Chains A and B, each alone.
Chain A
Amino acid sequence: MNKQPSIFVRVCSILLTSALGFSSATGLTQGSAAQKGKAAPKSPAGKKVTALTEEQKVIHLLDRITFGPRPGDVKRVLQMGWEKYLDEQLHPERIADQVVEQKLRAIPSIHMTSEQLAATYPPPQVIRRALEERGIKLPDQPGSGALSQPPEKVTAEELARRRQVQRVLQELGYKPPQQLIQELQQAKLLRAVYSERQLQEVMTDFWMNHFNVFAGKGADRWLITAYERDVIRPRVLGKFEDLLRATAQSPAMLFYLDNWLSASPNARIAARPFRLGERFRRLNQVGRQNNPRVEQQREQMLRQLQQRRVRGLNENYAREIMELHTLGVDGGYTQKDVQEVARCFTGWTIRNPRGGGEFYFNPAMHDDGEKIVLGRKIPAGGGIKDGEMVIKILAHHPSTARFIATKLARKFVSDNPPPSVIERAAKVFLQTEGDIRAVVRSILTSPEFWSVESYRAKIKTPFEMTVSAVRALGADTNGGPPFHRWIAQMGEPLFMCEPPTGYDDTAERWVNTGALLARMNFALALAANRIPGTRVHLDKLTQGVGERAEQVTDYFIKLLLHGNISPQTRAALDQSLRDPQLAQPEAGEKQTDVAKIVGLILGSPEFQRQ
C-alpha cells in the first residue's frame, strides 16, 4: 500500500482545482441565489448549458425534497425515474417507514399527550416542592437565567446533592422538563436521517417554521410536542385552510402569540384565562393530598393569576396570522383590520395551559359586536364563528396564495425565485382551494425548478447540512444532544427560534464567520467520529473501492459531491498527481487521513450547497 502517493494530497488538489476551476468550467456550483445578475452558466466550450442531465435532475430533486441522498439513492431513483419517485414522496401515507418508527419507539415523550407530559416532566417549581417534602432543599435559584450562561463549576457537595435529587425524581417518576425539548430535537433528527417519507419531513420542517412556536416560552415547552405531531405533520400536504385552523386552535400557538389572554374590553365578566378550580385539582394531584403547603401554594397561584390576568384585547395573534401566516406584510391589510381580527378571536383560549392545555371558546371573553375584516362584514352575535370566518377569508385570499407560493418557491427553487413560478403556483393554490400537495407538485414539475440556474443554487440550512452529511456517508446517529449542539452552534437550534417569523430561508442568514467555522468543525468532527452517539464507518465505505489513490478520491467525490467536477479540473488534477514531488510514498503511517479528506469535502463550499 505504501507505493501510493498520498491520497490526501490528491484530494486537496482535486478540491482545490475544482474550487478554482469551477465557475469557468461548468458554472453549476454557482448559486444563482446570491449572485444576482450573473450571466447564464456556460459549458466548457463556451456554449450555454441549457438543460440538466438525467443524473443531475435526480441529484437536484433529491437535494431539494429530501435531506440529501444516501449512498445508492441516486442510482435507485435514476432506475425508477424521478417522476415516480416524486409521486411516491407526495403520498407519504403510502410509504412504509418501519426503520424510523422502530427508532422513535425509544423516545417516550414524543408519544405522550400534553397532559401526560405536564405530569411526567413537571415544571421546576413542582419538582422543587416534591423535593422539599422529602427534606431536600434546593439552593435559592431565581429562574429565567441568562440564555448564554451554562451552569458554573460544581462542587463535590453539589454533585452528591444532585445524585440524591436524581434518586428522588426516579422514585416519583418525574423527569426534568428540559429533557422534553431534547427528545423532540432528537426525534426530528432521527426522522430527517432515517424516514423514508422524506418530503413529509421536509414539509414538516417548512410548516413548523412558517407557523413558528418558540419552545422556550413558558407552557409551550409542554405543548409543542403535540403541536408538531398532531397539528402540523398530519396536514403538511393537505388543505391550507385545515392547517391554518388547526394552528389557530392549537394551545401551543394560542399561548405563544398570547391570544389565550385576549378578551373584549367590554366582556361581561373580568375574564380569567382559566378556572382556579382546575388549577387546584391539578395542584392536589401533583402536590399529593393533604399537603401542608397547599395554602402557601394557593397564595402563590393567586399571585401568578393576577400577574397574568387579562388586560383586554391582545393584537399579537391577529397581526401575525395576517403578516406571517397568510397575507404577508404587503398583503393589503390595515391596522384597523388587525384590531377587527383581534376582536374576532377574543375568547379563543386555553383550558389549563400548564397542565396540558386544551383549546376552548370562552363566550365570556368574546367581543360579540359586528366586525369588518378586509371589507367583509362579520355580523354581531357570531361567537366562535367570527374566528372561523376570519380563517376562511384569510385561507383563500389571493394575497395568501401568492405569499405561500413565494415561500414554497423560495424553499424549493432558489432564494429569489422567478416570478413565473410563483404566479403559476399561486394560481394552482386558488384553483384547488389551497391544496398544498398540488401547489408543491406544480413547483417541483415547473421548468424553473428544473432549470440550470436553480441547480445547486441553495445554501443548506444547518439542519440540512448536518443531516445530509450523515445521510451521504450512510452513518448512524441517535440524534442526541451532542449532535444537535452543532446545529445550534451554526445558528439553527431546533424548536428554539424566538420570533414568530421563523428562520429565514435564504443564504445570507446562514453564511457568517462563526457559523462557517462551526460547519467546518462539524465536518471534521463527524468524519473523525468525534460526535458521541454518531458513527461514521469509513473503513466499510472504502472496502472494495480499489486501492489506487485515484479510485478512493473518485469514490468520495462521487459519494459526497456527486462528481460535480469539470473535465478541465480533472485534467489539472491528473497533472498534479503525476508530479513526482507529490507522489512520494512513505511507510508506517497511521491511516487517519481518510477522515481528514472526508472532513475537507464535507466542510468545502460545494457541500454547503444543494
Chain B
Amino acid sequence: MAITRRFFIKNGGIALASLGAVLQSPSFLARAVGQTPNDGRRRKVFITIFQRGAADGLNVVVPYGEQTYYELRPALAIPRPKGGEQVTAIDLDGFFGLHPALAPFKPLYDSGELAIIHAVGSPDSTRSHFDAQDYMESGTPGVKSTRDGWLNRYLQVKADPKASPFRAVAMGPNLPRALQGKAPSLAINNLNEFGLRTGSGQAGERLQSSFEALYAQSVNDPLSSTGRETFEAVKLLKQVNPGQYQPAAGANYPRTRFGDSLRQIAQLIKSDIGLEVAFTDLGGWDTHANQGAVQGQLANRLTEFAQGIAALYTDLKERAGEVVILTMTEFGRTVRENGNRGTDHGHASCMFVLGGEVKGRQVYGTWPGLKDEQLFEGRDLKLTTDFRDVIGEVVARHLGAKNLSSIFPGYQIKEANFKGFLRA
C-alpha cells in the first residue's frame, strides 16, 4: 500500500473542511488570554506543596526557647540563635527560629509575606505515611472511602463551567489524591510534552486537525466536549510557548524536579491561561537515620525546598497579591531523637503560608509545649490546629469559597477557628 504523505499534507485539511467540520472557536480562550475576568483584578491563585514522608517540624521551625527540646535531641538539636561564626537557628520571634537552611525564607518573613502555623496537622493518630497522606489529601481524616480530594471538591463547590482546562494543574505524571474527583484537573509532567505527538511540521498539524475534526461532533457527547476542550488547551499552551520561558530576575530555581515543577507553575500563572489551583510535591522527609542537624539530610531537603519556594515567589513578585502558597506534610516526627540519630513517625508538624495577602512575620497557633505531660501519646508534638482550618481559611478568604462543609465533609469549619493569617 502506498499512501502518499504529501497528499495528506496538501489535502487532509481540505477534506476535513469540505465535510463541514468547522471547528468552534475556543470558548474560554477569549476570557482567559490576557483578560481580566474579575473587574480588573487577575485570577486568584492557590499553590499547594506537599512534603511527602513526614517533615520534622521541630527541626524546621525550631522551638529554641524550650529547654526540653535540647534535652530530648542531644545530637540533632539546632543551636539557639546567637551572633558570631556558629551556624544556628535563625531567630523569628524570640522563641522560634528557622532551620539555617531556610535562610531564603527570612527576608519573606521579615517583610510580612510569610507566616508559619505550628503544631498543626491531621487529628487522626495514624503513623502510616500512606494513610496519613491519604487523609490529608482526601481531607477526611479517619475516613478512607472518600472518593475525591479536598482540592477537587473546592473546584466542584465553586463550579465554573466555562473554566479553562488549566484551572487545576498538578505537576507530575499522575493526578494526586487531593485533585482527584469529578472536576476536571490536569496532571502535567512537563509542559513541553503536553500535546498530541503527531510529529512536526505540516503533516503533524494536519494530523492534529484530523483528530480535532473527529471530536467536533455532537454536543451532548462527553467525549466530544472534552475533546474540544483538549484541543483548545493544546493550542493555548502552544501560544504560550513553554520552551521559551524566562523567569524573572533573581528567581533561581533549583535544578531539580521540584525546581522544574515550580518554574512551570509560575510559567502557567504568568501566561494568564486560567490557572487557579496548582499542586506539586517533594519527597525525602522520612529521616529515620542520620537526619543531621544544621547540615545533613534534612538540611539538604530544606535547602531545595526553601530555594524553590523563594524562587517561585520572586518569579511571581509582581502578582504576589493574587497568590497564596501553602505547604503541608502528613505528620511530624518524634520529639525524642532515636538511636540512629534520626526521628520516627510522630504527630503534629508545621506549615508555611506565603503571599501578598498574608499577615506574616508571625508564628500562628497555640504552642503545646514539649514536656512529657504535654506530648501526644507521651512522645509526639501535640496538635493544636487542624489542617482543615488552615486550608479552610485559604479557600474561604483567598479564593472566596462559600460552602466549606462540602469541601470538608463531616467537619465543622468556623471562621472563629481561622488563625487569621490572611487579611479578611
B53 and A144 contacting across the interface, CB-CB below 8 Å: yes
B226 at the interface (CB under 8 A from A): yes
Closest to A146 in B: B283
How far, in Å, is A581 (CB) from chain B's closest CB? 7
Chain A 32-60, CB-CB to B under 8 Å as 1, else 0, gives 00110010000000000000000000000
Chain-A contact segment, one of B1-9, B270-278, B308-316, B398-406: B1-9
A589 contacts B210, C-beta separation under 8 Å: no
**Within 8 Å CB of A542, what residues of B?**
1
B-side contacts of A5, CB under 8 Å: 7
**Cα A354 to Cα B223 with chains together (Å):** 44
- Output the least CB separation between B283 and chain A (Å): 3
A88-116 interface bits toward B, Cβ cutoff 8 Å, 1 = contact, 0 = none: 00000000000000000000000000000
A529 CB–B CB distance under 8 Å:
no
| A249 to B407 alpha-carbon distance, docked (Å) | 35
Contact mask for chain B residues 211-231; partner A; CB cutoff 8 A; 1 contact, 0 none: 101111110111110110110
* Given A34-B222, A501-B145, A512-B184: A576 touches B172 (CB 8 Å cut-off): no
**Interface-facing stretch out of B17-25, B85-93, B384-392, B413-421:** B17-25
A489 to B193, CA, bound (A): 13
Q: Which of A23, A148, A600 contacts B281 (CB 8 A)?
A: A148
Q: How large is the interface on A (under 10, 10 to 19, 20 to 34, 35 or more residues)?
A: 35 or more
Which residues of B108-156 have CB atoms within 8 Å of chain A's CB atoms? Answer: 125, 127-131, 134, 138, 144-147
The answer to whether A517 and B195 touch (CB under 8 A), given A499-B138, A576-B19, is yes
Residues of B within 8 A of A516 (CB): 223, 226-227, 230
Q: Is the CB of B207 within 8 A of A148?
A: no
**Residue in B6, B16, B175, B215 whose beta carbon sits within 8 Å of that of A605 in the complex:** B215
In-complex Cβ contact of A7 among B1, B287, B296, B339 (8 A): B1
A9 within 8 A of B: yes
- A411 contacts chain B at the CB level, 8 A cutoff: no
Whether the pair A593, B8 counts as a contact (CB closer than 8 A) is yes
Closest to A7 in B: B3
A368 and B359 CA atoms in complex are apart in Å by 55
Looking at the assembled complex, report how far the CB atom of B139 sits from the nearest CB atom of chain A, in whole angstroms: 13
Contact A217 B184 (CB under 8 A): no
Whole-angstrom CA separation of A148 from B50 in the bound complex? 11
Number of A-B contacts (CB under 8 A): 283
Task: Give a binary string over A484-503; 1 marks a CB under 8 Å from any B CB, 0 the rest.
Answer: 00001101010000111100
- Across the interface, B52 reaches (CB within 8 A) one of A145, A311, A589, namely A145
Give Cα A229 to B338, complex, Å: 40
Closest chain-B Cβ to A152's Cβ sits at a distance in Å of 6
Q: Is the CB of A499 within 8 A of B145?
A: yes
Closest Cβ of chain A to B341, distance in Å, is 11
Chain B residues near A311 (CB-CB < 8 A): 125
Question: Do the beta carbons of B285 and A591 come within 8 Å of each other?
Answer: no
The distance in angstroms between the C-alpha atoms of A499 and B234, with both chains bound, is 31
- Interface size of B by CB at 8 A reads 96
| A147-B172, A589-B3, A593-B4 known; A19+B214 contact, CB < 8 A | yes
CB-based nearest A residue for B188: A514
Contacts A148-B176, A152-B257; A217 near B130 (Cβ below 8 A)? yes
Chain B residues near A148: list those with CB within 8 A: 170-174, 176, 261, 280-281
Closest residue of chain B to A485, judged by CB? B173
Minimal beta-carbon separation of B224 from chain A (angstroms): 6
- A173 interface residue per 8 A CB criterion: no
Q: Does the CB pair B54–A144 fall under 8 Å? A: yes
Interface assignment of A323: CB less than 8 Å from any CB of chain B: yes
Q: Are B144 and A257 in contact (CB under 8 A)?
A: yes
Smallest CB separation, A25 vs chain B (Å)? 12
A-B contact pairs, 10 of them (CB 8 A): A20-B19, A31-B221, A145-B283, A149-B172, A149-B282, A303-B344, A323-B145, A513-B233, A597-B3, A605-B223
| Residues of A bordering B, CB below 8 Å | 1-2, 4-9, 12-13, 15-17, 19-20, 22-23, 30-31, 34-35, 38, 140-150, 152, 214, 216-218, 257-258, 296, 299-300, 303, 307-308, 311, 316, 319-320, 323-324, 329, 459, 488-489, 491, 493, 498-501, 504, 507-508, 511-514, 516-517, 520-521, 524-525, 542, 547, 552, 572, 576, 579, 581-582, 584-587, 589-594, 596-597, 599-600, 603-605, 608-609
Interface set of B (CB-CB < 8 Å, partner A):
1-8, 11-12, 14-16, 18-21, 50, 52-54, 125, 127-131, 134, 138, 144-147, 165, 170-177, 182, 184-188, 194-198, 207, 210-211, 213-218, 220-224, 226-227, 229-230, 233-234, 256-258, 261, 280-290, 296-297, 301, 338-340, 344-345
Which 6 interchain pairs have the tightest Cβ spacing?
A148-B172, A145-B283, A146-B283, A593-B3, A589-B4, A6-B7
